[in-house]
Amino acid sequence: MTTPHSDTPPPRILLAKLGLDGHDRGVKVIARALRDAGMAVLFGVFYNGGDLLLAWWSLGCCACFEEGFVLKVKAAVLWEVGQPLDICEVDLDEPKAGEVLVKVGSAGICRSDRHFMHGDAPIAIPVVLGHEGAGTVVQTGPGVTLAEEGDRVILSFVPACGRCRSCLEGHSNLCDLHGATGANMLDGTTRLHADGTDIHHMGKVACFAEYAVIPETGVVPVGNDLPLDKAAMIGCSVTTGVGAALYSAEIKAGSTVAVIGCGGVGLNVIMGAALANAGQIIAVDIREAQLEFAMRFGATHMVNAADQDPVRQVRELTGGRGADYTFEVFGSGDTTKAAYDMAAKRGIVTVVGIAPWGQEAAINAVDLVRNEKTLRGSYYGSARSRTDMPVMVDLYQSGKLNLDDLVVRHYTLDQINEAYADLDNGEIGRGAIMFD
């Protein structure tokens, strides 16, 4: 960035809203032409019948224009843990090298965001949450080669660097650089701000906003005919759940499976188990409605853990052996222990849910050895977003993944707190925010 020559405030162009339609794009083209011509001018107030577009450049030197565009976007911001999300206008910088600007089309209501809102998991604050999303690329930063303007994309909350040890070993879901930079962009800074305060980006996605700047490795282009809400689901719950069944646990045909927690992610574990031709798929939840809903996605048996001991029930349903594969898909120490206890000899226990920070699960250390059980975690379905998400798209489009029944509620961004209340109240299936 070039240093200003004087004390005048840095010149900026503020666009109340930037979209892909002709009028908005026209404003942007004019603005760029003026910048390129080195002109300093107040060049217009535009009204397109819906959005007021105010474009101006304050007096200053043309080099200062390298500050670039700042978009004013509506976003749901978590200013403080325990508070509702605040729907407000924030500043979004232009994409830098290797980044793209995405107009968000849909964002899923996932429990992982809820963990951050409640403080069950740590994250830098303030933050724009939202990590399950899809949209359209509207601008590419310098050097971008993995996506083009106009591409419909699924957003990945682990944009893999491709160069660290985890990526090189084929585990891009655990990218070291992404882990080290957390809720900032890969260069450690943020593109979101409000009144001089930096706002962080959950998973470098931050899709509870009209627009998002995302590393190019965090977008996966898909065909423009894939519905945006289904595309968004593939960004988290589908890849996490189906991936846990197929890539983490590698379920064998004919085996017995138990899934604890049948919400948005658990239903996808069930679908993954069905895809792997598991014999028995036992759905375990504390709500009857979730259990009945799970039968639509391939569950063969139900266990209501609110009024029965789920470990005993699963053992009974499997002839006393326990299940060959068990999955924890809620997020707690107790349900992790239950998943472990209901596993058969040589059983594979896969923990998908994220328990509140600091919670522990008491595992019988002797049982672990004598019964040769395997206890493992699964993050983002042990999937490699850029190659495995297109597989999920194919599975959906060939009728093998039922995402049409998975998304049952649609909301606007303004209704996001209501959407999370519905999640808390145990409404079935997945909710999705839809943007214009």
Token pair for residue 399?
Answer: 């009728």
Number of residues binding to Zn ion, judged by CB under 5 A: 4
Residue nearest ligand APR by beta-carbon distance = 263
Measure the CA–CA gap between 175 and 165, rounded to whole angstroms: 8
Q: Identify which range of 91-99, 104-112, 193-201, 249-257 contacts ligand APR by CB under 6 A.
A: 104-112
Give least dist CB 182 to ligand APR, A: 16
Residue 161 as a binder of ligand APR (CB under 6 A): the answer is no
Give least dist CB 151 to ligand APR, A: 27
Q: Which is nearer to ligand APR, 27 or 175 (CB)?
A: 175
Measure the CA–CA gap between 300 and 196, rounded to whole angstroms: 54
Site for ligand APR in 237-256 (CB under 6 A): 240
Give least dist CB 265 to Zn ion, A: 7
- DSSP state at residue 212: E
Q: Identify which range of 109-117, 146-154, 166-174, 204-212 contacts ligand APR by CB under 6 A.
A: 109-117
Residue 202 as a binder of Zn ion (CB under 5 A): the answer is no
Give least dist CB 233 to Zn ion, A: 10
- What burial letters (b/e) apply to 401-417, b meaning 16+ CB within 10 Å? bbbeebbebebebebbe
Token pair for residue 76?
Answer: 């749901």
Which member of 13, 106, 112, 160 binds Zn ion (CB under 5 A)? 112
Beta-carbon contacts of 235 under 8 Å, excluding residues fewer than 6 positions away, are 108, 131, 132, 133, 134, 154, 155, 156, 157, 205, 389
Number of residues binding to ligand APR, judged by CB under 6 A: 27
Going residue by residue from 336 to 375, which x/- string records binding to ligand APR, judged by CB under 6 A? ----------------xxx---------------------
Measure the CA–CA gap between 117 and 149, rounded to whole angstroms: 33
Which member of 133, 135, 203, 266 binds ligand APR (CB under 6 A)? 266
Q: Which residues have a catalytic role annotated? A: 110, 112, 115, 131, 236
Do 67 and 14 touch, CB atoms closer than 8 A? Answer: no
DSSP for 249-284, please give it: S-PPTT-EEEEE--SHHHHHHHHHHHHTT-SEEEEE
Give least dist CB 290 to ligand APR, A: 4
Q: What does DSSP say about strands 133-140 and 152-155: parallel, antiparallel, or unpaired?
A: antiparallel
Residue 260 as a binder of ligand APR (CB under 6 A): the answer is yes
Going residue by residue from 376 to 415, which x/- string records binding to ligand APR, judged by CB under 6 A? ----------------------------------------
Which member of 110, 128, 205, 344 binds ligand APR (CB under 6 A)? 110
Q: Identify which range of 51-59, 111-119, 312-320, 427-435 contacts Zn ion by CB under 5 A.
A: 111-119
Token pair for residue 50?
Answer: 């819906």
CA distances 420 to 111, 112, 360, 433, Å, are 8, 11, 26, 11
Which member of 305, 349, 393, 416 binds ligand APR (CB under 6 A)? 305
Tell me the residue length of the chain: 436
Indicate which of Zn ion, ligand APR, none lies near residue 280 (CB less than 5 to 8 Å, by partner kind). Answer: none
Residue 192 as a binder of ligand APR (CB under 6 A): the answer is no
Site for Zn ion in 226-245 (CB under 5 A): 236
Residue whose pair of structure tokens reads 């977008």 in the numeric block: 219
Give least dist CB 278 to ligand APR, A: 19
Residue whose pair of structure tokens reads 């894939």 in the numeric block: 226
Q: Identify which range of 93-101, 106-114, 178-186, 218-226 contacts Zn ion by CB under 5 A.
A: 106-114
CA distances 351 to 309, 423, 429, Å, are 19, 21, 20
Beta-carbon contacts of 320 under 8 Å, excluding residues fewer than 6 positions away, are none
Residue whose pair of structure tokens reads 């949209």 in the numeric block: 135
Do 126 and 79 touch, CB atoms closer than 8 A? Answer: yes
Residue 110 as a binder of Zn ion (CB under 5 A): the answer is yes
Residue 301 as a binder of ligand APR (CB under 6 A): the answer is no
Alpha helices in 125-193 (DSSP H): 165-168, 176-181
Which member of 11, 126, 264, 322 binds ligand APR (CB under 6 A)? 264
Q: Note the residues at the interface with ligand APR (CB under 6 A).
A: 110-112, 115, 240, 260-266, 284-287, 290, 305, 329-331, 335, 352-354, 423, 426
Q: Note the residues at the interface with Zn ion (CB under 5 A).
A: 110, 112, 132, 236
